[in-house]
Structure 1
Amino acid sequence: MLSDELFSSVCGPPIAANTAISKDVGIYAHTLTPTWAVKASFKKSSAPVHCLALSDSHVYAAQDQKAHVHVYSRARGNQEALVPFQERIRCIALAGDVLVLGTAEGRLILWETCTGRQITTPPCHVQAVSCIAVSPHHVLSASDDSNINVWSLPRLLEPGQDIGHEPDRTLSNHRGAITDLVLGPGSNPETNLCVSASKDKTCILWNYQTGQVLRTLLFPTAPLCISLDPCARALFVSSEDRSLYLVEFYGDKPLLGARSAELASIVMQINSPLGVADEDAGAASCMAVSYDGTSIVTGHAKGKILKWNLIDNSHPTELANLNASITNLAFAPLLSEKQNSQAATVIKPNQSQRQYTLTTQLQGDLNQGTRFDQMLNTNGFSDETIAQALASFGASAPSS
Structure 2
Amino acid sequence: MAPPSQQLVFAASSTDAGVAAWDLRTGAEAIRHRPCASRPRALVAVADRFLAAAQAPAGNSAPIYYYHWDKPQVAVKSFPTEPIRALIADPEGSYLIGGGVSGDIFFWEVATGELLVRWHAHYRDVRCLALYDLLLVSGSEDGSIKVWDLITMLDELARSEAKTPYLYSFNQHALPVTDIACFHGAIAVSSSEDRTCKIWNLSEGRMIRSISFPAIIDSIELDPRSHIFYAGGRDGKIYVTAMGVDVTSQGSGDSSILGALDDHSKGVTSLASSTDGLLLVSGSEDGSVRVWDTRTQQVTRKFKHSQGPVTNVLIVTPKRVNLPPLQPLRKVCAANGEVEPQAVILPDPENDVHIAEYRSSNLLERCLDSLQQHGNSSLFDSGASTLNGMPNQLGTEWRSKYLELQDLFVHQVLGQTPSSMDT
TM-based fold match above 0.5: yes
Report whether the alignment pairs 1:245 with 2:239.
yes
Q: Counterpart of 1:151?
A: 148
Following superposition, the deviation at residue 30 of structure 1 comes to 1.8
Following superposition, the deviation at residue 333 of structure 1 comes to 4.8
Following superposition, the deviation at residue 320 of structure 1 comes to 2.8
Whether the aligned pair in 2 keeps the contact of 1:113 and 1:348 (CA below 8 Å) is no
RMSD (Å), alpha carbons: 3.2
Q: Tell me which amino acid in the other structure corresponds to 1:124.
A: A
Q: Counterpart of 2:348?
A: 361
Aligned counterpart in structure 1 of residue 222 of structure 2, from 228, 236, 240: 228
Following superposition, the deviation at residue 276 of structure 1 comes to 2.2
Q: 1:85 to 1:313 in 2, by over 3 A?
A: closer
Report whether the alignment pairs 1:325 with 2:326.
no
Distance in 1 (alpha carbons) for counterparts of 2:330 and 2:211: 42
Report whether the alignment pairs 1:26 with 2:18.
yes
Distance in 1 (alpha carbons) for counterparts of 2:264 and 2:278: 21
Q: Counterpart of 1:85?
A: 80
Distance in 1 (alpha carbons) for counterparts of 2:326 and 2:252: 48
List runs of 5+ in structure 2 lacking aligned partners. Answer: 338-343, 353-423
Q: Counterpart of 1:274?
A: 260
Whether the aligned pair in 2 keeps the contact of 1:216 and 1:268 (CA below 8 Å) is no
Report whether the alignment pairs 1:166 with 2:165.
yes
Q: 1:267 to 1:171 in 2, by over 3 A?
A: farther
Q: Counterpart of 2:206?
A: 212
Looking at secondary structure, tell me which structure has more helix per residue: 2
Report whether the alignment pairs 1:69 with 2:92.
no
Whether the aligned pair in 2 keeps the contact of 1:215 and 1:267 (CA below 8 Å) is no
Whether the aligned pair in 2 keeps the contact of 1:216 and 1:265 (CA below 8 Å) is no
Q: Tell me which amino acid in the other structure corresponds to 1:287.
A: L
Whether the aligned pair in 1 keeps the contact of 2:127 and 2:140 (CA below 8 Å) is yes
Q: 1:128 to 1:232 in 2, by over 3 A?
A: farther
Secondary structure of residue in 1 paired with 2:152: helix
Following superposition, the deviation at residue 321 of structure 1 comes to 4.2
Deviations 1:371-390 (A, max 9, x none): xxxxxxxxxxxxxxxxxxxx
Secondary structure of residue in 1 paired with 2:295: coil
After superposition, where does 1:77-226 map in structure 2 within 5 Å? 77-95=72-90, 96-158=93-155, 162=159, 166-184=165-183, 186=184, 191-226=185-220
Q: Counterpart of 1:378?
A: none
Q: 1:232 to 1:120 in 2, by over 3 A?
A: farther
Whether the aligned pair in 2 keeps the contact of 1:11 and 1:26 (CA below 8 Å) is no
Q: Counterpart of 2:279?
A: 295
Whether the aligned pair in 2 keeps the contact of 1:148 and 1:170 (CA below 8 Å) is yes
Deviations 1:286-341 (A, max 9, x none): 111223322321111121112233322336752334332111001125789xx9x9
Q: Which has the larger radius of gyration?
A: 1
Q: 1:296 to 1:360 in 2, by over 3 A?
A: closer
Aligned counterpart in structure 2 of residue 350 of structure 1, from 332, 337, 349: 332
Whether the aligned pair in 1 keeps the contact of 2:326 and 2:345 (CA below 8 Å) is no
Q: Counterpart of 2:366?
A: none
TM-score by length of 1: 0.74
Whether the aligned pair in 1 keeps the contact of 2:129 and 2:137 (CA below 8 Å) is yes
Q: Tell me which amino acid in the other structure corresponds to 1:128.
A: D
Distance in 2 (alpha carbons) for counterparts of 1:310 and 1:322: 25
Distance in 1 (alpha carbons) for counterparts of 2:36 and 2:187: 33
Q: Counterpart of 1:60?
A: 52
Q: 1:272 to 1:241 in 2, by over 3 A?
A: farther
Q: 1:321 to 1:57 in 2, by over 3 A?
A: closer
Distance in 1 (alpha carbons) for counterparts of 2:156 and 2:348: 23
Q: 1:5 to 1:364 in 2, by over 3 A?
A: closer
After superposition, where does 1:386-397 map in structure 2 within 5 Å? none
Following superposition, the deviation at residue 273 of structure 1 comes to 3.6
Distance in 1 (alpha carbons) for counterparts of 2:75 and 2:345: 18
Deviations 1:34-62 (A, max 9, x none): x2122222111111111101123221111
Q: Counterpart of 2:27?
A: 36
Secondary structure of residue in 1 paired with 2:220: strand
Secondary structure of residue in 2 paired with 1:167: coil
Whether the aligned pair in 2 keeps the contact of 1:91 and 1:130 (CA below 8 Å) is yes
Report whether the alignment pairs 1:48 with 2:30.
no
Whether the aligned pair in 2 keeps the contact of 1:112 and 1:349 (CA below 8 Å) is no
Q: Tell me which amino acid in the other structure corresponds to 2:203.
A: Q
> What is the aligned residue count?
332
Whether the aligned pair in 2 keeps the contact of 1:72 and 1:80 (CA below 8 Å) is yes
Secondary structure of residue in 1 paired with 2:333: coil
Distance in 2 (alpha carbons) for counterparts of 1:99 and 1:327: 20
Secondary structure of residue in 2 paired with 1:155: helix
Q: 1:234 to 1:77 in 2, by over 3 A?
A: same
Distance in 1 (alpha carbons) for counterparts of 2:88 and 2:330: 17
Q: Tell me which amino acid in the other structure corresponds to 2:170.
A: L
Secondary structure of residue in 2 paired with 1:350: strand
Secondary structure of residue in 2 paired with 1:302: coil
Following superposition, the deviation at residue 136 of structure 1 comes to 3.0
Whether the aligned pair in 1 keeps the contact of 2:223 and 2:230 (CA below 8 Å) is yes
Whether the aligned pair in 1 keeps the contact of 2:159 and 2:165 (CA below 8 Å) is no
